[in-house]
Amino acid sequence: LCLFRDDAALGGSSDAVQDQRVTATSRASVETAATGGDVPLRPDTASVRNAADGGAIGGAADGDATDAPPNGSAAKPSAEAAAVAEPTDPRIARIPYVVFGCDLVVALGSGMTVKYFPLFFKEDLNMRPAAVQAIYLAVPVAMAIASTLATKLGRKVGRVQAVLALRVFGLTCFAGMVVLYDRGIARAGPLKYAIVALYVVRTASMNCTYPLEESILMDYVPKDTRARWKSLQSVAMFGWCGSAYLGGALADEYGYTKTFLFTIGLQSTGVLIYAQLLGVVGREASGLAGGGGDATA
């Protein structure tokens, strides 16, 4: 989180959604000024309504028939004016709910196992306590490096795409840990450190996406409700702690690796929930970066 650069990852799209209506109005004003202020490229809403009521645009009120719009032309400006007045995709309103739902499901899955990894390393892999603590010394370093890479990846492929790619990669590493242990490939000897390496990479990949997720949430939530959505993270943390009890019961009954599979299932569900943002955040960001797409065509 400390290495995340908002200006580098977001550029001109930061805090853009709240100002879309103002931006659209300003763009129409700029178009009018570019023509010398005589003929607006895009009629405003009042002018279109006047035309629809049989009124005149320009000098038609004085009986000048040459200034009246051609037959059937009032409908086209009306559609354009409506597009300017309503630029926001209605699916954008669902973004904070999707982000919160994903975080809650992922937190529930993480809580089931995160407290039992040290026991897994000590009891199942027969590692010394000092070696186990060395793992947790390497994890923050790996997370810092992964956060920097995630920021760069988000700029290249998009924030949602980066979050999904990193989480799928992390879940793949997690599944690799289970396969290596259950198949007896890396239970002892030097090969057991392959499981340790997968754990470090998995933890870094799953947690380095936090800055990108926060940037999406803050961009698509009104400024006066940001504190409310941030406070909901405490609910996810409560679920994270509560699911630890369930994880302990499953570990006692089935073993650690079977509990890992439950975590993989829950976190995969969270990834599927988050995938709903693929057609929303990506298109909105490209539109803003491109100055409104074909709005001036």
Q: For residue range 155-182, what is the model confidence (pLDDT) as tens digits? A: 899 899 999 999 999 999 999 999 999 9
Q: Is 97 helix (H, G, I), strand (E, B) or coil?
A: helix
Enclosing H/E stretch for 245: helix 233-254
How many Å apart are CA 294 and CA 156, to the nearest integer? 23
Q: Is 1 helix (H, G, I), strand (E, B) or coil?
A: coil
CA atoms within 13 A on the CB side of 112: 24
> What is the average pLDDT score of the chain?
74
The answer to whether 191 touches 252, Cβ cutoff 8 Å, is no
How many Å apart are CA 269 and CA 102, to the nearest integer? 8
Question: Is 25's pLDDT higher than 60?
Answer: no
Question: Is 31's pLDDT higher than 90?
Answer: no
pLDDT for position 103: 87
pLDDT for position 175: 96
11 or 246, greater pLDDT: 246
The answer to whether 197 touches 134, Cβ cutoff 8 Å, is no
pLDDT for position 221: 81
Q: Residue 4 carries which DSSP code?
A: -
212 or 81, greater pLDDT: 212
The answer to whether 74 touches 55, Cβ cutoff 8 Å, is no
Rounded mean pLDDT, 226-235 = 76
